[in-house]
Structure 1
Amino acid sequence: MKKNNFLHKHQKTLAPLLSLVLIILVTASITPGFLSIKIVDGHLFGSLLDILHRATPTALVALGMAVVIGTRGIDLSVGAVIAISGAVTAVLTVNTDFPVWLVVLCALGTGVVCGLWNGILVSVFNIQPIVATLILMVAGRGIAQMITEGQIVTFHSDVLDAIGNGYFLAFPIRVWIAIGMIVLTVLVMRKTALGLFIEAVGANVRASRLVGIEARLLVLSAYVFSGFCAAMSGIILAADIRGADANNAGLWLELDAILAVVLAGASLAGGRIYLLLTIVGVLIIQTLTTAILTSGLPAQYNLVVKATIILAVLLIQSPKTRQWLSGFFSKNKNAGKSSAGEASTDKRSAKP
Structure 2
Amino acid sequence: MKNATTVWRDLIHKPFFWGIIAIVALLLLNVLKDPGYLALTVNPNNGHLVGNVIDILRQAAPIMMIAIGMSLVIATAGIDLSVGSLMAVAGAVSMEFLRSTDGTSAGSALAAVGLSLAITALLGAVNGVLVAYVGLQPFIATLVLMLAGRGIAKVITGGQNTAASNDTYRWIANGYVVGIPVVFLLAVAIVIAVAWVVRRSALGLMIEAIGINPRASRMAGIKPKGLLLTAYILSGVLAGIAGVMSVGSVMTVDISRTGYQLELDAILAVVIGGASLMGGKFSLSGAFVGALLIATLDKTVLFLGVSSSATPAFKATVIIVICLLQSERVRAWFRRRRTPASPPSAETSEMKEVAA
Tell me whether the two structures share a fold, i.e. TM-score over 0.5: yes
Q: 1:287 aligns with which of 262, 285, 296?
A: 296
Say whether the 8 Å CA contact 1:72–1:269 is kept in structure 2: yes
Instruction: Specify the alignment match of 1:162 in structure 2.
Output: 171
Instruction: Specify the alignment match of 1:86 in structure 2.
Output: 91
Instruction: Specify the alignment match of 2:324 in structure 1.
Output: 315
Instruction: Specify the alignment match of 1:221 in structure 2.
Output: 230
- CA distance in 1 between counterparts of 2:213 and 2:11 reads 25
Q: Does 1:53 align with 2:54?
A: no
- CA distance in 1 between counterparts of 2:269 and 2:60 reads 11
Following superposition, the deviation at residue 54 of structure 1 comes to: 0.7
Instruction: Specify the alignment match of 1:10 in structure 2.
Output: 11
Gaps of 5+ in 2: 347-356
Write the deviation string for residues 221-273 of structure 1: whole angstroms up to 9, x where unpaired.
Answer: 00000000000011111111111111111000000000000011111001111
- CA distance in 1 between counterparts of 2:242 and 2:30 reads 27
Bigger drift between 48-57 and 16-25 goes to: 16-25
Which residue type is aligned with residue 32 of structure 1? Answer: P
What secondary structure is seen at the aligned counterpart in 2 of 1:33?
A: coil
Q: Does 1:107 align with 2:116?
A: yes
- CA distance in 2 between counterparts of 1:161 and 1:238 reads 9
Q: 1:120 aligns with which of 116, 120, 129?
A: 129
Instruction: Specify the alignment match of 1:37 in structure 2.
Output: 40
TM superposition score normalised by structure 1: 0.91
Which residue type is aligned with residue 15 of structure 1? Answer: W
Following superposition, the deviation at residue 32 of structure 1 comes to: 3.1
Q: Does 1:20 align with 2:23?
A: yes
Instruction: Specify the alignment match of 1:247 in structure 2.
Output: 256
Which residue type is aligned with residue 308 of structure 2? Answer: A
Change (3 A) 1:327 1:15: farther
Following superposition, the deviation at residue 97 of structure 1 comes to: 5.5
Following superposition, the deviation at residue 328 of structure 1 comes to: 4.6
Instruction: Specify the alignment match of 2:75 in structure 1.
Output: 70
What secondary structure is seen at the aligned counterpart in 2 of 1:161?
A: helix
Say whether the 8 Å CA contact 1:31–1:295 is kept in structure 2: no
Write the deviation string for residues 182-239 of structure 1: whole angstroms up to 9, x where unpaired.
Answer: 1101111111111111111111111111110111111110000000000001111111
- CA distance in 2 between counterparts of 1:278 and 1:159 reads 29
Instruction: Specify the alignment match of 1:350 in structure 2.
Output: none
Which residue type is aligned with residue 40 of structure 2? Answer: I
- CA distance in 2 between counterparts of 1:186 and 1:325 reads 34
Say whether the 8 Å CA contact 1:89–1:103 is kept in structure 2: yes
Gaps of 5+ in 1: 343-352
Say whether the 8 Å CA contact 1:209–1:215 is kept in structure 2: yes
TM superposition score normalised by structure 2: 0.90
Write the deviation string for residues 315-343 of structure 1: whole angstroms up to 9, x where unpaired.
Answer: 222232122234456x35x85xx89x99x
Q: 1:231 aligns with which of 225, 240, 243?
A: 240
Which residue type is aligned with residue 85 of structure 2? Answer: A
Equivalent runs, 1:130-169 vs 2, <5 Å: 130-169=139-178
Which residue type is aligned with residue 106 of structure 1? Answer: L
Following superposition, the deviation at residue 22 of structure 1 comes to: 1.9
Following superposition, the deviation at residue 21 of structure 1 comes to: 1.8
Change (3 A) 1:31 1:307: farther
- CA distance in 1 between counterparts of 2:300 and 2:279 reads 32
Q: Does 1:176 align with 2:185?
A: yes
- CA distance in 2 between counterparts of 1:183 and 1:262 reads 20
Following superposition, the deviation at residue 10 of structure 1 comes to: 3.1
Misfit runs of 4+, over 4 Å: none
Bigger drift between 5-14 and 249-258 goes to: 5-14
What secondary structure is seen at the aligned counterpart in 1 of 2:32?
A: helix
Say whether the 8 Å CA contact 2:274–2:282 is kept in structure 1: no
Following superposition, the deviation at residue 42 of structure 1 comes to: 1.8
Say whether the 8 Å CA contact 1:66–1:273 is kept in structure 2: yes
- CA distance in 2 between counterparts of 1:125 and 1:2 reads 53
Which residue type is aligned with residue 178 of structure 1? Answer: A
Say whether the 8 Å CA contact 1:31–1:294 is kept in structure 2: no
Following superposition, the deviation at residue 131 of structure 1 comes to: 0.5
Say whether the 8 Å CA contact 1:154–1:244 is kept in structure 2: yes
Say whether the 8 Å CA contact 2:62–2:242 is kept in structure 1: yes
Instruction: Specify the alignment match of 2:311 in structure 1.
Output: 302
Structure with the higher helix share, 1 or 2 = 1
